[in-house]
Amino acid sequence: MFFMGFVISAFADEIDSDLGVQFEHLVAEGISLIDLRSALGKNVMLLTDSEVLEVKRLAEAAGLGFNCVGSPINKVTVAEGSADVELAKLRRAGEIAGMLGINRIRIFSPEGDDWGVIEPWMAQQVEYAEANDLVLMHENDGKYYGSIPTQAKRMFETLGSPNFMAAFDFANSVQHGFYAMKDWFPWLLPHLETVHIKDAREDGKVVAAGEGVGQVRETLAWLVSQGWEGVLSIEPHLQFAGDRGGFSGTESFGIATQAIKGILEEL
């Protein structure tokens, strides 16, 4: 689905646990790309090669393709995690992406605020991406380093490249007291690869796009004025939001889809 240069994708596991239900709903909504975060009852990183290929086969049979591997890479603390372990996960995510015929991987930055630790941690992943033609899309999620605009700016100014880009999430930003046009743009624009469509109210409750204070309309209108073209990934979290994913259900996902379609039609 294309709107004004935007391509619409979705975290299909928000719809239903059953792939058949997911794919049928996506086709009905005119959405042709999937952000693969989980399938067959497993996180994408736990799928075997044969399971990845089966998901691909079923998706292609429904006329669907993939936008990215929606990995949880770097969702660890610097105190408890290991940069080497996360790099090994990235290698596996790269293998999964290759089987799906794509090169885009959603990642995060670890929890912590010591740039002296964060920089080499992230740098080795960027180096791996550059050497293997991968595009890492960093999401501004939760308590992690890159959820703070000033810290994310430092990270992108130091490590930003065509292989290390941003996946901006409106709701995540609101939940930490930051706003798209006040705190993230315009500095993020040169690094922007994709936008996650998820809004939130002042109290942090996740709502459909345009129903919160995330400045979804204003930001998308500004991106249009700047000539930005990219992927908008629907990730509503309307029934459940957790550290490793969320869920909406078919009805709520439909509401979320119609909300962003309505905003784009207004633009």
Residue spans of beta strands (DSSP E) within 12-98: 33-36, 38-39, 42-43, 65-70
Single pTM value for the model: 0.94
77-112: pLDDT as tens digits: 998 779 999 999 999 999 999 999 999 999 999 999
Q: Is 90 exceeded by the pLDDT of residue 256?
A: no
Could you report the per-residue pLDDT of 130-142, keeping only the tens digit for each?
999 999 999 999 8
Q: Exposed e or buried b for every residue in 1-35, given b needs 16+ CB within 10 A?
A: bebeebbbbbbbbbbbeebeebbebbeebebbbbb
pLDDT classification of 250: cutoffs 50, 70, 90: confident
Pairing between β-strand 135-139 and β-strand 164-169 as defined by DSSP bridges: parallel
Domains of the chain (ranges; CATH) run: 2-266 (3.20.20.150)
d(CA 89, CA 86): 5
Torsion of CA 181, 135, 86, 100, to 10 degrees: 120
Measure the CA–CA gap between 211 and 238, rounded to whole angstroms.
12
pLDDT at 255 > cutoff 80: yes
At 5 the pLDDT is: 77
HSE-CB for 140 with a 13 A CA cutoff: 36
